[in-house]
Amino acid sequence: MSDDIKIVGLLCNWCCYGGADTAGTARMQYPPNVRIIRVMCSGRINPSLVFKAFEEGADGVFVGGCHIGDCHYDAGNYKWSRRAKIVQDIIEEFGIEKERFRFEWISASEGEKFQKTMKEFHNTLKEIGPRTNTKTASK
């Protein structure tokens, strides 16, 4: 990999994961730094998952879900949107820049939006630089 920025992407199965698929089948280029983890719904994601990613040395965490109102399970993304606000507040208390955490609503047809978001996120992280993490540093 050209640079060493690690992005963990937690994507909802029904929308954002499909969006990444669309980007892939249409051969849209986006930074290969993102490691995608498929979850069934953004409402399944809790702050601990994000924190665990940061603990293991991720430079940025991205969460993608369905557009508000489009949740496959009716209200999962509303729940995630409330949790996301708490994550934003908490990571600041641990010396993690708030730009390192991002969430976005991307539908299965929006391959272009997925590509654009990944490029943007990668650029932001490149500007801030890699994260110094006590645990990975000692390994």
Partner 1 sequence: MSYLLAKSKDDDILKAGECGGAVTSIFKYLLDNGIVDGVLAIRPGDDIYDGVPTFVTDSEDLLATAGSYHCSPTMIGELVRKYLFDKKVAVAVKPCDMRAVDELIKRNKINSDNIYTVGLNCGGTVSPITARKMIDLFYGVDPDDVLSEEIDKGQFIIELKDGSEKGVKIHELEHEGFGRRENCQRCDVKIPRRANIACGNWGAEDGWTFIEINDERGEELIEGAKKANILDTKTPSENSIEARSKVEGIMIKMAQKNQNANFDGANEMEEWNRCIKCYACRDVCPICWCYENCELNKSYFKEAGSVPPEPIAFQGVRLSHMSFSCVDCGQCDDVCPSDIPVSLIFDKLQKKYYDRTGYIAGVSDEKPPLYSPEKSEL
Contact footprint for partner 1 (CB under 8 A): 46-48, 51-52, 54-55, 68, 74-75, 78-79, 81-83, 85-87, 89-91, 93-96, 133-135
Least distance from C-beta 23 to partner 1, angstroms?
26
Least distance from C-beta 5 to partner 1, angstroms?
19
Least distance from C-beta 86 to partner 1, angstroms?
6
Q: Give how far Cα 135 sits from Cα of 33, 40, 57, 97, 138, Å.
A: 21, 30, 8, 18, 6
Give the pair of three-digit tokens for residue 80: 């995630």
38 vs 52, beta carbon nearer partner 1: 52
Question: Contact 76/42 with Cβ under 8 angstroms?
Answer: yes
124 vs 133, beta carbon nearer partner 1: 133
Give the pair of three-digit tokens for residue 13: 């199965």
Least distance from C-beta 130 to partner 1, angstroms?
16
Query: Which residues lie below 8 Å from residue 82, measured CB to CB, with a gap of 6+?
Result: none
